[in-house]
Amino acid sequence: MRYDIDAATLQTLLPTIAGAEDALARLDERVARSPVGQGFAERSHFFDAVGALWVAGELVHVEDLVLHDAHMDSRAPSHELTIAHSVLRTRRRIETADPAWALSPVGLGVLTANALEEKGREQEANDPAPAESRLDDQDDDAPLAAEIAELDALLARSQRLLDRHAGRAVSDGPFTEAAARRDDDPLGLFDDDEWNEEERLQEWRGLIPLAEELPPSLAAALLFDAWERIEPLRRQHWLGGLLIASSLRARGKLASHLFSFHAGLKQIRHERRRARDRVTRLRAFLDAMRESAATGLKEIDRLTLARAQMELRFRGRRSTSSLPQLADFVLARPMVSAAMVARQLGVTQRGALNLINEIGIREITGRGRYRAWGII
């Protein structure tokens, strides 16, 4: 599959590219100059994490994600909520790093959790002791050691039988692929030997020089389309949206914060995002950037109005008042609870309730326990 952009394709996408570029520039200018820009950037982490799961077909409530991030879950976290929290932590990690770090080999190694595996391989290569001696040093009475060895031998015989029927070359020697598997996956139940993630990731990285010659928005759309088609990572497929947001930040198109791409992508119809025509897909991704930027501008207007209303309530207070800190905390979270406010400001929960009542934010739960407040 070719990912080059010819003149005809560029001319077809030119109006959409202009709209996306203009929307991203307006959003970057507003966030950089707005007094609620920092709070908007913090809130966008939560909404983008929820949007990433929504695009993948999973529903995660932003309220549950906020409570889980604060270690105040009202119930046991689900698998989807754990993944959404991984997206949230990864976004924070990318935003605090250098703009070009995420797309560098070191950054991709850390984000894809391959750095530790490569380090382990280097240690094994530098270890003069052979593998047999290291195994002999272990306890011979290790639980399930003999059973696992028998299962490995059975898998080796089954693989040779399948290769023989498929007409592939069969080696009569020991099955060496089993030794290359992960230590925590001896049966190969989680990893697919034919799905080389490192090779696919290198293929995707090879498109970065081509993308650097294109406008930032089109380059981001191209990289995201390649990520969707190549599928470098099966377990971290959501990482593609974060990497293109990092590319926009690295090229200075959106330097004020890490762009929330999934928030706009979930507003695009599935038929357009998964169309067979590449031009249709690229246009859909560019429209997603424009939609996300438009949503961000509306959110900044809403947060600016809410901050102005809260400032009227603590204007004229003494300099040691905690209300300004509470206002900043409320702007940085989609919702807050009394326990979260108490922990953030270092007051009691009774004092947190009094501060919440004084600042005048609305309650969004309407129940006696697990009450929460936010900007509506």
Instruction: Place 248 in a pLDDT band, splitting at 50, 70 and 90.
Output: very high
Q: What secondary structure does DSSP assign to 126-166, as a single string?
A: H--S-HHHHHHHS-TT-TTHHHHHHHHHHHHHHHHHHHHHH
Torsion of CA 222, 223, 228, 230, to 10 degrees: 110
Tokens found for residue 75: 């119930």
Does the pLDDT value for residue 347 go beyond 60? yes
Structure tokens at 34: 């707005």
For residue 322, what are the contacts with CB-CB under 8 A and spacing of at least 6? 345, 347, 355
Q: What pLDDT is recorded for position 183?
A: 54
Task: Work out the angle at residue 93's Cα, subtended by the Cα atoms of residues 90 and 97, and round it to the nearest 5 degrees.
Answer: 140
Q: Are 24 and 254 in contact (CB under 8 A)?
A: yes
CA gap 361, 363 in Å, rounded: 7
CATH code linked to domain 9-112+195-302: 1.10.3290
CB 94 within 8 Å of CB 242: yes
Q: Which tokens is 308 given?
A: 């102005």
> Could you give the residue range(s) of every CATH 1.10.3290 domain in the chain?
9-112+195-302
CB neighbour burial string for 285-294, b if at least 16 within 10 angstroms, e if fewer = bbbbbbbbbe
What distance in Å separates the CA atoms of residue 298 and residue 79, rounded to the nearest whole number? 32
**Range(s) of the chain covered by CATH 1.10.10:** 316-374
What residue has token string 């070359």? 169
Q: Using the predicted structure, report yes or no on whether residue 306 has a pLDDT greater than 80.
A: yes
Average pLDDT value for residue range 56-79: 89
Tens of pLDDT, residues 120-167:
444 444 444 444 444 444 444 455 666 777 777 778 777 776 766 565
Calpha distance 285→275 (Å, rounded): 11
Cβ(97)–Cβ(245) below 8 Å: no
Question: Is 80 exceeded by the pLDDT of residue 69?
Answer: yes
CATH architecture, domain 316-374: Orthogonal Bundle (1.10)
The better pLDDT of the pair 112, 187 is held by: 112
Taking all residues of the chain, what is their mean pLDDT, rounded to a whole number?
82
* Model pLDDT, residue 269: 92
pLDDT class of 173 with cuts at 50, 70, 90:
very low
Q: What percent of the chain has pLDDT over 70?
A: 79
d(C-alpha 69, C-alpha 153), whole Å: 44
- Residues paired with residue 363 on neighbouring β-strands, in sequence order: 373
- Tens digits of residue pLDDT in 184-234: 555 555 555 566 778 888 889 888 888 888 899 999 999 999 999 888 888
User: In the structure, what pLDDT confidence band is assigned to residue 365 with cuts at 50, 70 and 90?
Assistant: confident
